[in-house]
Amino acid sequence: MASFTETDISATAVAVAHFRALESSRDDALFHDEFAALFVDASGLPVSDIGLSDVTSNRVYLSVAVRTHWLDAGVVDAVAAGCRQVVLLGAGLDARAARLGVRARFFEIDLPNVLAFKRSVMDERGGEYVDVAADLTAADWPARLIEAGFDPSQPTVWIAEGILIYFDSATNDRIITAVSELSAAGSRLLCGHFGAGSLTEAQTKEMTQRTSSAGYGFRSWITDPKTWLAERDWDVTATTIKAHGATLGRELPYEETPGREIAWLVAAERRSECA
């Protein structure tokens, strides 16, 4: 395996892999990701202390577990409905190409250093996907995706798992516009995003302070997912991580009310080929 330094690896992606590994070790696991622990071990990064209080750290773990379960089900359903391409926006250390067993071509967009680290682990253990080295904040990522073999005429399921919260609203608008322009009828979009309640909820504020001190931070949120996407010809359904967690017997340790949702899970289907 190639040698990597800490600057080559996304600490956030490793932390998410750590929480997926914890969930996978449970007797009542919501999913099984055998690659998660491999990524953590290969990274050499410390994951026992992510700099948050115990309550907030547990909340992040639960959020990752519930979100992963929801997205896994969404991908399986989308492929069964005819989507034969899966595009991961900010793929990080996602291993769905290897572990879900769906018949689709996976394209994983991320920065070159993250993709190289991931490939060093995945190539030894399977999982077929196409690397697309690109910056989602740059204008050329759609062209790079097409150059890698993506076919805009075919229905696609797009995954934006935890990336949008790190971009400002203008950048997210550009990303969603590009996704819409590349999406044939029947395409699906699955994403997570913060809601308005995240601005004042104590644990989210703690996470905001922690990520800001690390040099990045949370930069956007949405009040109404349907309004956000409907103008681009997407039919939208939405729930929250807390609400979905409750259906799974996983209670998130915070309160939210209508109009003050903390963390959205948004599913959308493309109505037409033109925005």
Query: Helix, strand, or coil here: 244?
Result: helix
In this structure, is residue 26 part of a structural domain? no
Residue 9's pLDDT is what?
Answer: 67
93 domain residue, yes or no: yes
Would you say residue 47 lies in a domain? no
8, part of any domain: no
Is residue 206, in this structure, part of any structural domain at all?
yes
Domain with residue 259: its CATH number is 3.40.50.150
Torsion of CA 246, 250, 255, 258, to 10 degrees: -30
Does the pTM of the predicted model rise above 0.85? yes
Q: Among the residues of 31-168, which ranges form H helices?
A: 36-43, 54-80, 96-99, 112-122, 141-147
Residue 272: per-residue pLDDT: 63
Q: Pick the closest to residue 169 from 96, 219, 234 (CA basis).
A: 219
| Domain limits for position 236 | 67-270
- 40 domain residue, yes or no: no
- pLDDT for 219 equals 85
| Count: domains in the chain | 1
- Eight-state DSSP code of residue 137: T
Stretch (H or E) spanning 208: helix 202-213
In this structure, is residue 236 part of a structural domain?
yes
Low-confidence ranges of the chain (pLDDT < 50): 1-7, 273-275
9 belongs to a structural domain = no
